[in-house]
């Protein structure tokens, strides 16, 4: 079984809006609905669990009914941190699934995740034991110590920009989260960083520059543009 764990517990303070960014509407559809539909429509996803910001669970449940998101079987309260929110979702998933079932952790605010990205994430996880969606770095990278200037180049060939989904079998994820708590790791920014902090290697699956994370108003402009475009026939 493959379970999508959608993290929608953020309040979106950087967006400076009155409602959380995952619930903002674009073309009369909440951003989180686009995300849920990507997993709803993927034939290899069997279940969707959402970790939701407190007080928004009823609204999310209504959206699921309105937009026929039938794979959402549970809406779980978020934690104080992203790491804690993921753990809350895993504890709920563990009530119904086996240790070898794959959990794909995905940001609710990445609504352009494609079927190919989801498929490759599942494939790499099944082969290597985990999968981190990532893309090569294609811009000049500089290191700064003062946020004002730089005198050091970071070789971009050795860099990857991580995205979600990030997939790990359920049993391993529960073990990693328990180990992290014992070691005092409580604020890791992503599953991949937590695994590396614990001393584990991570393996890359194919991402996309279109798989944007919506954190600013400018990102919404990009998202709207992507919704209106299609690849030209002559491009290979």
Domain boundaries, the chain: 2-227
Please, what's the b/e burial string for 44-71 (b: 16 or more CB within 10 A of its CB; e: otherwise)? ebbbbbbbbbeebbebbeebbeebebeb
Q: How sure is the predictor about 53, in pLDDT bands with cuts at 50, 70 and 90? A: confident
The residue written with tokens 């999508």 in the block is: 4
Residue 234 binned pLDDT confidence (cut-offs 50, 70, 90): low
Measured distance CA(36)–CA(60) in Å, rounded: 11
Q: Are 88 and 78 in contact (CB under 8 A)?
A: yes
Between 138 and 110, the more confident residue is 110
- Measured in whole angstroms, the distance separating CA 109 from the mean position of its chain's CA atoms is 8
Going by C-alpha positions, the residue among 95, 75, 72 that lies closest to residue 85 is 75
The model's pLDDT over 19-46, given as tens digits with 9 standing for 90+, comes to: 888 999 999 999 999 999 999 999 999 9
What is the band of 228 on the pLDDT scale with cuts at 50, 70, 90? confident
| Cα separation, 212 vs 205, whole angstroms | 16
CA 151 distance to own-chain centroid: 33
| pLDDT at residue number 15 | 56
Query: What mean pLDDT is predicted for residues 14-22?
Result: 73
Say whether the peptide bond before residue 165 is cis (omega within 30 degrees of 0).
Answer: yes
DSSP of 106-174: EETT-TT--HHHHHHHHHHHHHHS-EEEEEE--S-EEE-SSSS---EEEPGGG-EEEEEEEEEEHHHHH
Cβ atoms of 179 and 76 within 8 Å: the answer is no
Nearest 5°: CA angle at 77, between 126 and 28? 85
pLDDT in tens, 127-184: 999 999 999 998 999 999 999 999 999 999 889 999 999 999 999 999 999 999 999 9
Tokens of 92: 């709920």
Q: Which CATH architecture has domain 2-227?
A: Alpha-Beta Complex (3.90)
Orientation angle between helical segments 57-66 and 31-40, nearest 10 degrees: 60
Paired sense of beta strands 25-26 and 160-169, if any? unpaired
């Amino acid at each position: 079984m493959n379970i999508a764990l959608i993290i929608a517990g953020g309040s979106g303070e950087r967006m400076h809006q009155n409602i959380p960014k995952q619930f903002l509407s674009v073309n009369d559809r909440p951003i989180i609905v686009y995300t849920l539909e990507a997993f709803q429509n993927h034939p290899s996803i069997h279940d969707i669990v959402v970790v939701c910001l407190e007080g928004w669970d009823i609204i999310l449940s209504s959206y699921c009914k309105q937009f026929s998101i039938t794979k959402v079987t549970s809406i779980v309260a978020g934690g104080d941190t992203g790491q804690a929110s993921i753990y809350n979702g895993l504890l709920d998933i563990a009530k119904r699934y086996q240790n070898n079932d794959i959990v794909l952790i995905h940001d609710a605010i990445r609504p352009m995740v494609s079927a190919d990205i989801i498929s490759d994430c599942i494939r790499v996880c099944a082969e290597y034991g985990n999968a981190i969606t990532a893309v090569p770095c294609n811009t000049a990278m500089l290191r700064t110590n003062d946020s004002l200037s730089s005198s050091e180049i970071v070789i971009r060939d050795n860099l990857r920009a991580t995205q979600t989904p990030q997939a790990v079998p359920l049993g391993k994820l529960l073990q990693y989260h328990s180990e992290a708590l014992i070691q005092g790791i409580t604020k890791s920014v992503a599953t991949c960083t937590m695994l590396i902090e614990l001393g584990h290697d991570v393996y890359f699956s194919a991402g996309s520059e279109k798989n944007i994370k919506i954190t600013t108003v400018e990102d919404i402009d990009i998202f709207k543009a992507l919704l209106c475009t299609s690849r030209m026939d002559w491009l290979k």
